C-alpha cells in the first residue's frame, strides 16, 4: 500500500520541505562520497606518510594484518556499491552515503525511493565463497564467521527509529548486505529479513516500487541527510 503524501505545497502546486532549505552545510550529509568516513580514517592514519607506508610494508612482510589494509578493501567495496546506487538517481531514488552512528558503526549507504528505504552495508568478498546465515557470514577466505548479518540488521533498526522520529511517521528500513568481488554469494533459506546479494544485483533495487509516495520519500531524504538526527541513533 502506498503512503500518503506529505510536505507543503507552493503556489505552483509543487511539494517542498522547508527543513532542507535551512540545513547548515556542515550538517548536510548529501555531499558525502561513498566511503567518506573510511577516506577520513585513511587520511588521518599514521600510515598516510612515507614512514607510515614503510611501517605497513614491514608489517605485511612479517605476516601481520594492518587495519589500514582492511579499511582500503572496505573503501573499495563502498565505492563500487555507491557508484551503482548513484546510477539510480534519475529514477526517483536518492542515496546518502557513509552515515556514522554513535559507537562508530557506519551505514555504508541509505537508499530512499519508490521501493522504500534500504540500509545497505557493503563488504569486500575477496573472491571467496560467501554464505550468509541467520546472524553470521562464513567465507572460505576467513577462519572465523563474521557478524555482518547481525550488524546490518541492527543498524537498519536504529535507522528506522531515527527516521521515524525525525519524520513523524513510521519509516521501515530494510537491511541489505552486499558482497563485492565474491566468487559466489548464498543466503540460508531461513534468512528472510535481510537481503544478501553480490554487487551485480544492486541496480535491481531500482526496479522496486509501490511503497513510498514521492512526497514521503523526499521528506525521509531531508531527515536522513541531516547529520544531527543521527547523533541519538
How do residues 46-67 score in pLDDT, each as one tens digit? 555 545 555 555 555 555 567 7
pLDDT higher for 135 or 7? 135
Over the stretch 75-96, which tens digit does the pLDDT of each residue have? Answer: 999 999 999 999 998 899 999 9
Q: What pLDDT band is residue 107 in, cutting at 50, 70 and 90?
A: very high
Sign of dihedral through CA atoms 93, 94, 99, 102?
A: negative
Q: What is the DSSP letter of 221?
A: H
* 37 in Cβ contact with 106 (< 8 Å): yes
CA distance 111 to 184: 24
What integer pLDDT is reported at residue 47 of this predicted model? 52
pLDDT higher for 49 or 152? 152
CA distance 118 to 24: 25
Rounded to 5 degrees, what are φ and ψ at 42? Answer: -65, -40
What integer pLDDT is reported at residue 21 of this predicted model? 59
Amino acid at each position: 500500500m502506498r503512503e500518503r503524501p506529505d510536505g507543503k505545497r507552493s503556489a505552483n502546486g509543487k511539494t517542498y520541505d522547508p527543513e532542507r532549505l535551512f540545513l547548515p552545510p556542515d550538517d548536510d550529509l548529501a555531499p558525502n562520497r561513498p566511503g567518506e568516513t573510511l577516506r577520513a580514517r585513511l587520511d588521518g592514519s599514521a600510515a598516510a606518510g612515507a614512514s607510515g607506508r614503510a611501517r605497513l610494508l614491514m608489517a605485511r612482510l612479517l605476516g601481520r594484518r594492518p587495519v589500514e589494509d582492511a579499511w582500503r578493501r572496505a573503501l573499495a567495496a563502498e565505492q563500487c556499491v555507491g557508484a551503482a546506487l548513484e546510477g539510480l538517481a534519475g529514477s526517483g531514488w536518492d542515496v546518502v552515503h557513509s552515515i556514522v552512528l554513535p559507537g562508530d558503526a557506519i551505514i555504508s549507504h541509505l537508499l530512499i525511493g519508490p521501493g522504500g528505504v534500504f540500509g545497505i552495508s557493503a563488504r569486500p568478498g575477496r573472491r571467496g565463497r560467501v554464505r550468509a546465515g541467520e546472524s553470521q557470514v562464513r567465507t572460505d577466505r576467513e577462519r572465523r564467521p563474521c557478524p555482518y548479518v547481525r550488524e546490518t540488521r541492527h543498524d537498519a533498526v536504529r535507522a528506522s527509529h531515527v527516521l521515524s522520529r525525525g519524520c513523524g511517521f513510521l519509516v521501515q528500513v530494510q537491511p541489505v548486505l552486499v558482497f563485492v568481488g565474491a566468487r559466489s554469494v548464498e543466503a540460508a533459506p531461513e534468512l528472510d529479513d535481510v537481503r544478501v546479494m553480490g554487487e551485480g544485483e544492486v541496480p535491481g533495487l531500482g526496479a522496486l516500487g509501490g511503497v513510498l509516495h514521492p512526497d514521503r520519500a523526499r521528506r525521509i531524504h531531508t531527515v536522513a541527510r541531516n547529520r544531527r538526527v543521527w547523533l541519538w541513533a
